[in-house]
Structures are given as C-alpha cells and as structure tokens.
Structure 1
Amino acid sequence: MAFLGQAAVAMWWNMAAEHREEFEHWHSHEHFPERMGIPGFLRGSRWSSADGGEGFFVLYELENYETLTSSGYLERLNNPTPWSTKMMPHHQGMVRSQCRLLHSTGGGIGRHALTLRLSPAEGRDAELLAHLSALATSFVSQPGGVAFHVLRTETPQAASTREQQIRGGKDKAADWIVAAAAYDASALDALQRGALGEDIERHGALPGALAGRYQLAYAASAHDLK
C-alpha cells in the first residue's frame, strides 16, 4: 500500500465473535464513510487476524499530522453516532496510535500484512530507522513484497474525546510501528523470522517487539466513498 499522506492513526483491538458481523457492517458502511468524509483523511484499511482470531488492525492514512487535531476530526470524535456509541464498548484491548510517517517504500495494497510494535533503545533512533529504511528497499523488491512503512507515535496534546470515554478511557498506544504488506504470505514469514525477528535488537530495537499477522478485509479511499 503506497502510503498516502504524512501521518496516520494505527489501531489494534479484539472483537468478540458474537459482535463481529454487526461490527463489520457498521465499520464498512457507516464508520469508514464518516471518517473518509473528514478533510485530511485519505484512505482507511481494515485487516483481520490471519489466524481467524478476534484481532483487527485498522490504519487511517492522513494528509498531515495536523489532521489529528483538526476541527473536523475532533467534531466526529466528540459526537459519535448512535451506532458508533453502541459498538465502541466492544473494542477490547484498544491500542490507538496517532503517528507521523518516518519512512515509506513500495506501492499498492497487498492481501497480507505484518505489523510490528517496537521501541528504539536509548540513543539508537537514527540507527534503527536507517536499518528499517534499508530493509524496506530490500523487502519490496523481493518476490511477494509490496510495501513497507515505518511510523512513530506522537500523541497530540488534546482533551479526552467522547469516543475514548465510551471505550472506558483506557486506550494504549504503540511507540514505533512497522507495517509491511505482501501479495504472498511467505514473504512476510521470512521477514518475521529474520530481519524483524530477534535480529532487530542488533540494530537498535529494545527486546519485546510485538508482531501481528493480518489479512485485508476492506480498504477504501476518500475518493472511493464520494
């Protein structure tokens, strides 16, 4: 997925099986069109857990960092629809990261995705970013590889929103995020075992990086939903 814009909202959560059908209906037919109608929202994509479990990864690509505190976005966050108000409490274990884009290589949207939530060791930010940038170039040129993005969470100074309050006000956030996409899952298998496995610690990452594997469920741009 060639990254659109210079910022993002990256989110992970679980959705219990008994709520999944309604969640996907709401998220596709009300929530996505609502979000894509906000100035600065360029594309949204929803990815479901590759193992068939309850996990989801959702990525909103934004024109710029200022979109995160724009009046249009804050208005929607503080005035959820009745359907959103019903569905928000079912987002379990929410991790919501408001990010700047650090690096992006590749283009298109692949069926398979790998996300890695990680943190740089103290004083090794530049080393880690240089390694990930070089890895991105290598990955997208290999069979199966499509795109490779690096994001860093920079949470804006803003009051808690109504949507956060409905979810219990306990949203967590990642630090750095790698999102890699592929048309062949085996390309991500190799990436996860090798360069984004324990080897990543040699290049400036702290231990404990958290990986997740997903399949594309739905994607739409602002243009698609006009």
Structure 2
Amino acid sequence: MALLGLGAIAMWWDIAPEHRAEFEDWHTHEHFVERMGIPGFRRGSRWAAADGGEGFFVMYELEAYETLVSPAYLARLNAPSPWSTKMMPHHRHMVRSQCRVLESCGGALSRHALTVRLSPADGDADRLRLHLRGLAELLRSRPGTTAGHLLQHQTPKIEATTEQKIRGGPDPAADWIFIACGYEQAALQALLGAELSDQALVTAGARSGALSGLYALSHSNTSCDVR
C-alpha cells in the first residue's frame, strides 16, 4: 500500500495572505514536528493551491484508523501550544475528514495532488469503489501521474476537543476523498475533464456535485524526520 498505513486525516482550509507566512512557519516548524511525534503518525504533507490562491490541503498518514482515538493524540488535541492557539482561528472554511484508507496505489507524494470530495449514490458504494480502485491502478503508471488513493470518512466517537473549540465548533467533513498525484499538472487537469468529471463520476455511481482542487506540494515530514 502506497500510503504509510490504514488511516488518514484529510483537511482543507484557507489562510488569508496577511497570515500565510506565519502559518507556514508554525505549521512546518512546530505543528508537523508535534504531530509526527505522536505514536501512529507516519507522514504529514502540506499542499498549497496550485493557482496561488489561499487554499491548502493537508494529509496525515496514520498507522491505523484507531490512532485517531489514541490517548497520545487526544492529549495533544486537548492541550494545544500557545502558538497553535494563536494560529488555529485563522483556519477559514475548514473541512476535516478522519478516514479509513480504502484503496492506495502508487507513490504517495508527487509534485501535484488533485483532490476530489464526493459521495456514493444510494446503493452504489461498492460499484463506485471498484471504479475508483481501477482508476487508482491506472494512475500509478500513466504518463504524468503517479498514484491514486481513496479515503472514506468515519467520525470517531470522542468528545469535542480543545482544538476544535478554538476553531469555533465541529468541523464539516468530506465523505469520500479521491486523491490523484502526479508530476505534470496538465495530466491532473485532464482528469477533471475525463475520468474525474462530475458526469463520469455520476455514471460510476457517485452523487452529483463533487468538489475538486489542485495543489502543489509545499512540505512533508515523516515520523523519522523529527526524531
């Protein structure tokens, strides 16, 4: 499996230009280091909007889904640092999905990532998963692309955390997430007009209205990097 485990956290948010420099400093030099020190956290990656906009996509790869309810992780969520407490209110329009990894093919990191947030139509989850599994397998060897990953959100049974309260309450979540990685941005853009277009996804068993975003890799750490 290309992703470094069976669980993941996938997140999207916007950072206003006046806070961006400090956000990237904090996220790189404190927050990633802190998260990668938690047992079960294997890799974190931050991607910035490819068009130069305010959006970010962040993914943490976890050894297991159960890492999301581990005492060590919950302790960090309920004891944010002073710098985290300062920065988290600036995470605008946050979407945060705590996921099981359903499919993963190819290399997990590449220059660009295309994320598609979608949901299966009633009764079509198995058919949609089979379709996206086949697409992921194709992407790991197609010119311009390197990988495809499918995640499914499942809300852990935990109380609201201090970090969540700082951000202003429960975070919305994406249901299913398909992530296509590649070294050519044009190859990922082409996917949006073909296999990952809304019409193609509906035909494969998804509900209409999938949301997509294209991002460029900004920074990544593994747990080994911060020891």
TM-score (normalizing by structure 2)? 0.98
CA contact (8 A) 1:98 1:156 kept: yes
Aligned equivalents of 2:108 and 2:67: distance in 1? 23
SS of the residue aligned with 2:98?
strand
1:225 aligns with 2:226: yes
Aligned equivalents of 1:220 and 1:188: distance in 2? 24
1:3-48 C-alpha deviation (Å, 9 max, x unpaired):
1100001000000000000000000000000000000000000000
In the alignment, which residue of structure 1 is the partner of 2:152?
Answer: 152
Structure 2 unpaired stretches of 5+: none
In the alignment, which residue of structure 2 is the partner of 1:200?
Answer: 201
1:93 aligns with 2:93: yes
1:170-219 C-alpha deviation (Å, 9 max, x unpaired):
41100000011101112101211100002111010000000000000001
Equivalent residue pairs, number: 226
In the alignment, which residue of structure 2 is the partner of 1:19?
Answer: 19
CA contact (8 A) 1:3 1:61 kept: yes
CA contact (8 A) 1:109 1:181 kept: yes
Structure 1 unpaired stretches of 5+: none
Aligned equivalents of 1:222 and 1:192: distance in 2? 33
CA contact (8 A) 2:160 2:170 kept: no
Greater mean deviation of Cα atoms: 135-144 or 147-156: 135-144
In the alignment, which residue of structure 1 is the partner of 2:210?
Answer: 209
Return the letter of the residue paired with 1:59. Answer: M
Report how far residue 132 of structure 1 moved.
0.3
Report how far residue 147 of structure 1 moved.
1.0
Map 1:155-166 → 2, pairs under 5 A: 155-166=155-166
Aligned equivalents of 1:203 and 1:183: distance in 2? 26
Report how far residue 107 of structure 1 moved.
1.6
In the alignment, which residue of structure 2 is the partner of 1:138?
Answer: 138
Greater mean deviation of Cα atoms: 169-178 or 26-35: 169-178
Aligned equivalents of 1:27 and 1:139: distance in 2? 30
CA contact (8 A) 1:2 1:109 kept: no
1:141-171 C-alpha deviation (Å, 9 max, x unpaired):
1111111100000011110000000000041
- Computed over aligned residues only, the root mean square deviation of the Cα atoms, in angstroms, reads 1.0
CA contact (8 A) 2:46 2:218 kept: yes
Map 1:1-226 → 2, pairs under 5 A: 2-197=2-197, 198-226=199-227
Aligned equivalents of 1:107 and 1:163: distance in 2? 31
Report how far residue 103 of structure 1 moved.
0.2
SS of the residue aligned with 2:188?
helix
TM-score (normalizing by structure 1)? 0.98
Return the letter of the residue paired with 2:200. Answer: D
Aligned equivalents of 1:7 and 1:138: distance in 2? 23
Greater mean deviation of Cα atoms: 155-164 or 185-194: 185-194
CA contact (8 A) 1:117 1:210 kept: yes
SS of the residue aligned with 1:223?
helix
SS of the residue aligned with 1:224?
helix
Aligned equivalents of 2:211 and 2:188: distance in 1? 15
Report how far residue 137 of structure 1 moved.
1.1
